[in-house]
């Protein structure tokens, strides 16, 4: 193919919706302009990608970047720096900031903070409250909005909508797919006495499988009643996965790398409160059920649930310790290690992190390598063995639960709308992030 291009990646193995094979990818004006055999001399910049795999840009649909109000943990620049260092080209960021993202003004402020400062593209969830239910249908259609997020069980922050009447109103109101943290608040309150001082292994005893299941049943029932789309975040239990397999008409399913990788009680012995998450990392039976749900297609997407806290906050004695861990930077290498171990195919990984998000959320111009689409590319070396370390982590909190873990498969380059924003671990240039566009909404 001939023409004049800004960039061509030569000789890489492209993994895409139409198969896997060695092809060149050419870029012009931020979009993919040609796929196939492209003359290197036809582009201003040619990159030798032989021996590397070129994936559609990885989209992480659940991160917490903590700005505004909690910048001591993370901000939009540092969180997005971690994202592109790990091969992630776009993120959906959560509303539990200070103040929370629950109004048009708070959303516009976040978009303004992020534009041309974040290193990857972005969209923000708007948090549902009992007070803003009447505004949700308008808020979810604004620029930079990923959709509505509902905390049906308490987690980090002050957002909570836990009574059925309010949840019914939220689901009746929404037009797009809304995302839910699904744990039953009544059961969580009843079981608080099961927490053992200084023992984070009691976390999954407190926030048990039933707490998740009660909430997920309720949400699915309301979604089916109103014929509205819901997205159950960070599914962690065997019972939920079995139930959701029979209720895919209106409910989509996310799992996280840490629920697929870590296992209780080992993780609590090894990591202590650094393994503390909501919902919790559970035992091997639950982890096996998540992998089975992934293999059978029940799982639609992967999200990191990147939720950084400082070491001081994590090292308070349980249960005063904060729940959450870093994850956006390690999503790609941890999951590529699973690919190399034979637990999923590379094509399934692409479906979970690119095509799946595009399909569920109606993302415009992203999610596949195709002419006319944004040139968002994640370039990886499947054969590269590395050790994940705290020193590699770009997040402001500078730690990872995978410190010291050896993996096979590594992010080499990140391209956002044709711009090389990371190569061989170095973040290049200042942030030029822009809002993700959607088929519904802005």
Same domain, 21 and 77: no
Please report, for the domain that includes residue 376, its CATH number. 2.30.40.10
Average pLDDT over residues 284-304: 98
Q: Is residue 17 part of a domain?
A: yes
Q: What is the pLDDT of residue 100?
A: 96
Q: Is residue 10 part of a domain?
A: yes
Measured CA to CA, the distance from residue 31 to residue 66 in angstroms comes to 31
pLDDT band of 155, cuts 50, 70, 90: low
- Model pTM above 0.95: yes
Closest-CA residue to 302 (of 92, 99, 44): 92
Q: What is the pLDDT of residue 104?
A: 98
**DSSP secondary structure code for residue 5 in this structure:** E
Q: What is the pLDDT of residue 2?
A: 58
Q: Is residue 436 part of a domain?
A: no
Q: What is the pLDDT of residue 154?
A: 61
Radius of gyration of the chain, Cα coordinates, nearest whole angstrom: 21
Q: What is the pLDDT of residue 160?
A: 87
Same domain, 336 and 423: no
Same domain, 330 and 421: no
Q: Is residue 394 part of a domain?
A: no
Q: Is residue 230 part of a domain?
A: yes
Measured CA to CA, the distance from residue 36 to residue 132 in angstroms comes to 50
C-alpha pair distances (Å), 437 with each of 128, 134, 144, 366, 389? 21, 24, 7, 9, 34
* 178-181 vs 230-232, strand pairing mode: parallel
Residue 171 · residue 222 · CB < 8 Å? yes
Q: What is the pLDDT of residue 1?
A: 57
Q: What is the pLDDT of residue 173?
A: 97
The single residue of 162, 305, 351, 376 carrying the catalytic annotation is 305
Same domain, 281 and 313: yes
Same domain, 158 and 224: yes
Tokens standing for residue 267: 């993780």
pLDDT band of 46, cuts 50, 70, 90: very high
Alpha carbons within 13 A on the beta-carbon side of 165? 2
Q: Is residue 237 part of a domain?
A: yes
Average pLDDT over residues 19-41: 95
Tokens standing for residue 210: 């039933």
Closest-CA residue to 69 (of 110, 126, 9, 11): 110
pLDDT tens column, 319-339: 999 999 999 999 999 999 999
Q: Is residue 393 part of a domain?
A: no
Q: What is the pLDDT of residue 157?
A: 53
The reply to whether 162 belongs to the active site is: no
Same domain, 128 and 189: yes
Average pLDDT over residues 416-438: 96
Closest-CA residue to 370 (of 354, 346, 347): 354
Q: Is 156's pLDDT higher than 80?
A: no
Task: Compute the mean pLDDT over every residue in the chain, rounded to the nearest whole number.
Answer: 96
Same domain, 151 and 22: no
pLDDT tens column, 64-111: 999 999 999 999 999 999 999 999 999 999 999 999 999 999 999 999
Q: Give the H/E segment covering residue 225.
A: helix 209-226
Q: Is residue 438 part of a domain?
A: no
Same domain, 419 and 306: no
Measured CA to CA, the distance from residue 306 to residue 207 in angstroms comes to 20
Q: Would you report the helix, strand and coil content of the chain in percent, each value rounded to 5?
A: 35, 25, 40
Same domain, 209 and 318: yes
Measured CA to CA, the distance from residue 44 to residue 60 in angstroms comes to 31
Same domain, 109 and 250: yes
pLDDT tens column, 223-265: 999 999 999 999 999 999 999 999 999 999 999 999 999 999 9
Number of continuous H segments (helices) and E segments (strands) in the chain: 15, 17
Same domain, 67 and 195: yes
* 301-302 vs 377-387, strand pairing mode: unpaired
Same domain, 70 and 39: no
- Structural domain containing residue 405: 5-54+370-382+400-427
Residue 374 · residue 407 · CB < 8 Å? no
Residue by residue, DSSP assigns 428-439 as -SS----BPPBS
Measured CA to CA, the distance from residue 425 to residue 412 in angstroms comes to 7
Helix axes 238-245, 209-226, angle to 10 degrees: 20
Please report, for the domain that includes residue 83, its CATH number. 3.20.20.140
Average pLDDT over residues 293-314: 98
Q: What is the pLDDT of residue 159?
A: 77
pLDDT tens column, 163-208: 999 999 999 999 999 999 999 999 999 999 999 999 999 999 999 9
Question: How many structural domains are present in the chain?
Answer: 2
Q: What is the pLDDT of residue 51?
A: 98
Q: What is the pLDDT of residue 158?
A: 61
* 251-255 vs 230-232, strand pairing mode: parallel
CA 231, 237, 243, 245 torsion: positive or negative? positive
- In 294-396, beta strands by DSSP E: 301-302, 377-387
pLDDT band of 3, cuts 50, 70, 90: confident
Residue scoring higher pLDDT (17 or 304): 304
Tokens standing for residue 213: 């299941």
């Amino acid at each position: 193919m001939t023409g004049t291009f800004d960039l061509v990646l030569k000789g890489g193995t492209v993994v895409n919706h139409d198969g896997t094979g060695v092809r060149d990818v050419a870029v012009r004006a931020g979009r993919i302009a040609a796929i196939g055999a492209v003359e290197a001399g036809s582009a201003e910049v040619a990159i030798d990608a032989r021996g590397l795999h070129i994936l559609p840009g990885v989209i992480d649909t659940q991160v917490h970047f903590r700005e505004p109000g909690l910048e001591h943990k993370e901000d939009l620049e540092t969180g997005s720096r971690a994202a592109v260092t790990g091969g992630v080209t776009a993120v959906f960021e959560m509303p539990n900031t200070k103040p929370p993202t629950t109004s048009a003004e708070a959303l516009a402020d976040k978009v303004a903070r992020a534009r041309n400062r974040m290193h990857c593209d972005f969209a923000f969830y708007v948090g549902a409250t009992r007070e803003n239910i009447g505004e949700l249908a308008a808020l979810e259609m604004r620029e930079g909005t990923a959709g509505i997020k509902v905390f049906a069980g308490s987690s980090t922050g002050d957002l909570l909508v836990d009574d059925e009447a309010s949840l019914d109103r939220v689901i009746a109101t929404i037009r797009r797919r809304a995302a839910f943290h699904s744990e039953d608040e009544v059961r969580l309150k009843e079981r608080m006495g099961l927490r053992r001082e200084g023992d984070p292994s009691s976390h999954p005893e407190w926030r048990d499988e039933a707490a998740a299941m009660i909430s997920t049943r309720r949400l699915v029932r309301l979604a089916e009643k109103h014929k509205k789309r819901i997205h159950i975040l960070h599914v962690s239990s065997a019972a939920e996965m079995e139930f959701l397999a029979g209720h895919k008409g209106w409910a989509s399913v996310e799992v996280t790398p840490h629920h697929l990788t870590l296992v209780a009680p080992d993780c609590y012995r090894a990591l202590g409160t650094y393994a503390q998450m909501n919902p919790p990392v559970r035992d091997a039976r639950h982890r096996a059920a998540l992998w089975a749900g992934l293999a059978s297609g029940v799982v639609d997407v992967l999200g990191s649930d990147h939720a950084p806290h400082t070491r001081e906050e994590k090292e308070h004695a349980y249960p005063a310790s904060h729940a959450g861990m870093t994850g956006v930077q390690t999503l790609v290498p941890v999951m590529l290690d699973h690919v190399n171990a034979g637990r999923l195919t590379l094509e399934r990984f692409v479906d979970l992190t690119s095509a799946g998000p595009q399909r569920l959320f109606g993302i415009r111009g992203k999610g596949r390598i195709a002419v006319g689409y944004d040139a968002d590319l994640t370039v990886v070396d499947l054969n590269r063995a590395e050790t994940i370390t705290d020193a590699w982590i770009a997040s402001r909190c500078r730690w990872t639960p995978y410190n010291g873990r050896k993996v096979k498969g590594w992010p080499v380059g990140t391209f956002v709308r044709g711009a090389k924003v990371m190569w061989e671990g170095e973040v290049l240039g200042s942030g030029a992030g822009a809002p993700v566009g959607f088929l519904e909404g802005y």
